[in-house]
Chain A
Amino acid sequence: GENVEQHPSTLSVQEGDSAVIKCTYSDSASNYFPWYKQELGKGPQLIIDIRSNVGEKKDQRIAVTLNKTAKHFSLHITETQPEDSAVYFCAAYQTGNQFYFGTGTSLTVIP
């Protein structure tokens, strides 16, 4: 089955700096890659996603890049704010299968 690895497990940045979280996957059949943000005591919520026919997607301060050849994808958050502090999960999915999640990155933005 699919194996998703996520790094780093913890990340601290100064407010205004950028944060980058990286994930790799093993199954080349995976074709959809969502990123989730989970605040304490709540369920994860989608913040951005990318499909395998696209190399990059941006939504305001958040961007995701996908390298299908290398089987890795990354989340980029620019101009970080304290409210960006949360746990972030990447996931890989192939049609008709299940979601495979990374182990999460705890991001702390220091004011």
Chain B
Amino acid sequence: SQTIHQWPATLVQPVGSPLSLECTVEGTSNPNLYWYRQAAGRGLQLLFYSVGIGQISSEVPQNLSASRPQDRQFILSSKKLLLSDSGFYLCAWSVLFANTEAFFGQGTRLTVV
């Protein structure tokens, strides 16, 4: 069966520090991969999505970047965190070109102080 792993679960980082969040998927190949951010009490904002290795689409201009170094690995990064980067970050995957659900990880609660 397929599983998605996202870590860490919580993170407290000072302003100006770098960020690296990692997400891996097991049990499937060539997945669509997504990074979402959720502010407190708000909806899901799509940050990045990827249909293959090295193929990243960015939805909003921001202080973040994403990379997909391997088929089932998706990394969210920042060189210098801002206070506004605080939020709940969710990784998700779906089957490429199929009308099936997106599967979400358990999320990372990032607090920038």
Contacts and interface: CB of A to CB of B under 8 A. Distances in A.
Interface of A: 31-32, 34, 36, 41-46, 49, 51, 89, 91, 93, 95-96, 98-99, 101-104, 106
Contact of B99 (A42, A43, A89, A95): A95
B49 A89 contact: no
Interface string B12-55: 00000000000000000000101000000111101001000000
A98 B97 CA distance: 10
B60 interface: no
A101 B44 contact: yes
User: Which 4 A/B pairs are nearest by Cβ-Cβ distance?
Assistant: A43-B104, A32-B99, A103-B43, A46-B101
A99 B101 CA distance: 9
By size class, the interface of chain B is 20 to 34
Given A98-B46, A101-B43, A44 B104 contact: yes
A26 B101 CA distance: 20
B106 interface: yes
B68 interface: no
Nearest to B106: A43
Given A42-B106, A44-B44, A103-B43, A98 B34 contact: yes
Nearest to B44: A101
Interface of B: 6, 32, 34, 41-44, 46, 49, 88, 90, 92, 94, 97-107, 109
Nearest to B36: A101
Contact of A96 (B46, B97, B105, B106): B97
Given A41-B109, A98-B34, A99-B34, A104 B43 contact: yes
B94 A99 contact: yes
Nearest to B101: A46
A34 B104 contact: no
A102 B43 contact: yes
A51 B99 contact: yes
B25 to A, nearest CB: 13
B104 A45 contact: yes
Contacts of B101: 34, 46, 49
